[in-house]
Amino acid sequence: MKLVFFCFYNIRKPLNAMAKTRDNQSYKEKVYKSLKKAITNCALRPGEVVNERKLAAKLAVSRTPVREALYALRDEGWVSIVPWKGAFVRPVTYSDINECMHLRLAIEPYAVELATPFIGAKELAYFDSLMEWQKSLAGKEDAGEFITIDQNFHLYFAELTKNGRLISILRTLRDIHLRLGVEAVRLKQRYSMTLREHLAIVAALRDKDGKAAAYAMREHLLLTREALLEIFATSTKENNTP
């Protein structure tokens, strides 16, 4: 009996440790997703402090998974961790804007042209529904919902190409795109401008003109980059004003 008890005791110890590790991983994932969402939709603003203790209490977890999630976000470039001071949301930089928009300018017009032959009545109806959804937000200035529509619009072109690598690249850009998009629509005129630019792309698609649609997408992205750089310059000036 002693031997049996000893075996069960020693088996149970590693099993308990494994269960605890799984729990920590699931808690870490919960914190990670919550924090990343708050950062990408700008609920947590650039430069804002992430309070470990308050976040742990809010999500009903210990501080260990919070700390692990912050390390993961630091490694991905979303937060900065300063010894003895804590974690801060990493600001959007000039390089972030340029790198993201250069990639999008290289990829998305090409994706639109590739997708054009696959666009029929069903696909046009989907684009039309997105445009109606965006129109319904006129005057509401709901940045989160507006950018969700924008993401669906842009990613759909890649999905229509059925090019797995292209889809993967654009999905990788989605998080930084979301954060930059929320920043872009801080310029109130970008709501109506973005809608007009999207409608121009859809009009070219309706004519089955892939080159015109790609050109319209490029113009849209150039104007988006211009808006982002304008906001960045304004924010930098405000932050440097005594």
pLDDT tens-digit profile of 130-180? 999 988 876 666 677 777 888 899 999 999 999 999 998 888 887 777 777
pLDDT at 186: 63
Domain closes at, from 89, 118, 149 = 89
pLDDT at 20: 47
Is there a single domain that holds both residue 166 and residue 199?
yes
49: phi then psi, degrees, rounded to nearest 5? -75, 140
Contact 137, 191 (CB under 8 A): yes
Angstrom distance (rounded) from CA 232 to CA 209? 35
38 band by pLDDT with thresholds 50, 70 and 90 = confident
- Specify the residue for token string 């959007």: 92
∠ CA 164-166-167 to the nearest 5 degrees? 65
Mean of the per-residue pLDDT values of the chain: 83
Is there a single domain that holds both residue 44 and residue 13?
yes
Angstrom distance (rounded) from CA 130 to CA 156? 11
B/e letters for 86-96, b = 16+ CB within 10 Å, e = fewer, are ebbbbebeeeb
Mean pLDDT value of segment 87-101? 87
Is there a single domain that holds both residue 67 and residue 131?
no
Give residue 46's region: left, alpha or beta (phi > 0; psi -120 to 50).
beta
Q: Which of 83-92, 97-106, 184-193 has the lowest mean pLDDT?
A: 184-193
Mean pLDDT value of segment 97-121? 94
Q: Does 241 have pLDDT greater than 80? A: no
Task: Say if strands 86-89 and 79-82 run parallel, antiparallel, or are unpaired.
Answer: antiparallel
Angstrom distance (rounded) from CA 194 to CA 200? 10
CATH number, residue 219 = 1.20.120.530
Identify the CA nearest to 176 among candidates 158, 154, 160.
Answer: 154
Is there a single domain that holds both residue 53 and residue 140?
no
Angstrom distance (rounded) from CA 38 to CA 66? 14
Contact 107, 214 (CB under 8 A): no
Is there a single domain that holds both residue 193 and residue 236?
yes
pLDDT at 199: 96
**For residue 40, which amino acid is it?**
T
CATH number, residue 84 = 1.10.10.10
Q: Which residue has the higher pLDDT, 7 or 63?
A: 63
pLDDT tens-digit profile of 210-221? 999 999 999 999
Q: Which residue has the higher pLDDT, 236 or 10?
A: 236
10 band by pLDDT with thresholds 50, 70 and 90 = low
Is there a single domain that holds both residue 138 and residue 71?
no
What sign has the CA pseudo-torsion 170, 153, 74, 16?
A: negative
pLDDT at 236: 64
For residue 14, the enclosing domain spans 2-89
Is there a single domain that holds both residue 179 and residue 61?
no
Is there a single domain that holds both residue 169 and residue 234?
yes
Domain closes at, from 39, 62, 89 = 89
Domain closes at, from 40, 65, 89 = 89
Mean pLDDT value of segment 102-125? 95
Q: In what order do the strands lie in the sheet with 86-89?
A: 49-50, 86-89, 79-82
pLDDT tens-digit profile of 11-24? 555 544 444 455 55
Is there a single domain that holds both residue 111 and residue 46?
no
Is there a single domain that holds both residue 130 and residue 188?
yes
Cα 74 off chain centre by = 16
Q: How many CB atoms lie within 10 A of CB 105?
A: 16
Is there a single domain that holds both residue 214 and residue 228?
yes
pLDDT at 135: 87
Q: How many domains does the chain have?
A: 2
Is there a single domain that holds both residue 164 and residue 186?
yes
